[in-house]
Amino acid sequence: PPEVAFAGRSNVGKSSLINTLTRRKKLVRVSGTPGRTQHINFFSINQDAIRLVDLPGYGYAKVPKAIRAAWRPMVEAYLSGRDTLAAVVVILDIRREPTGEDLMLLDWLRSLQITVLAAVTKADKLSNNQQASRLAKLRPTLAPFDPTPTLFSASTGQGREELWARVCEAAGV
């Protein structure tokens, strides 16, 4: 089945986004083992029509060096020659500028010609006006990777339908 992966800084809200996105959908974890070190989890959705891939978070200062160093080779091993991979959802916090690591990931995905779906989450932390002005500021930065980023909130469900539609479209399902 086609795969859509999810990536973002640790604590950006990736788990919450995946949970919100897949609520009321039949979801089965097909592999990935919980453990002390970071790992990649695979979730099968709707009788394996699509697989969602939860990539480890990056860039968290409190994460031990050895684990931080393991991120790139682990993700590289996953990405390389992955012809089932339809897109990567890159998750950003609406209140924060994209970090150097966010931009490196975006550049990396683009150089691999992997479709990027940008999701700007925790939108509920800002008023509607503030959301609009933050998005206007983020747009030029994100435009080379995704001209139509999705505003998202795990708390209110904002952007859930839109992001799911984009995931399905990218996966061709």
Applying CB under 6 A, the residues found at the interface with ligand GDP are: 8, 10-16, 57, 121-122, 124-125, 153-155
CB nearer to ligand GDP: pick between 115 and 131 = 131
CB nearer to ligand GDP: pick between 11 and 148 = 11
Backbone angles phi, psi at 5, to 5 degrees: -100, 160
CB nearer to ligand GDP: pick between 8 and 149 = 8
- Least Å distance, CB 128 to ligand GDP, is 15
Of the candidates 113, 3, 118, 116, which has an alpha carbon nearest to the alpha carbon of residue 50?
A: 3
- Least Å distance, CB 18 to ligand GDP, is 8
Of the candidates 4, 21, 36, which has an alpha carbon nearest to the alpha carbon of residue 115?
A: 4
CB nearer to ligand GDP: pick between 6 and 145 = 6
CB 14, CB 30: distance < 8 Å? no
Query: Which residue number places its CB atom closest to ligand GDP?
Result: 13
**153 CB neighbour count, 10 Å cutoff:** 22
- Least Å distance, CB 172 to ligand GDP, is 27
- Least Å distance, CB 119 to ligand GDP, is 10
User: Exposed/middle/buried for 173, CB within 10 Å: 0-12, 13-18, 19+?
Assistant: middle
Nearest 5°: the CA angle 161, 112, 137 is 50
- Least Å distance, CB 155 to ligand GDP, is 4
**What ranges in the chain are assigned the alpha helix state H?**
14-22, 65-79, 100-111, 128-142, 160-171
CB nearer to ligand GDP: pick between 64 and 144 = 64
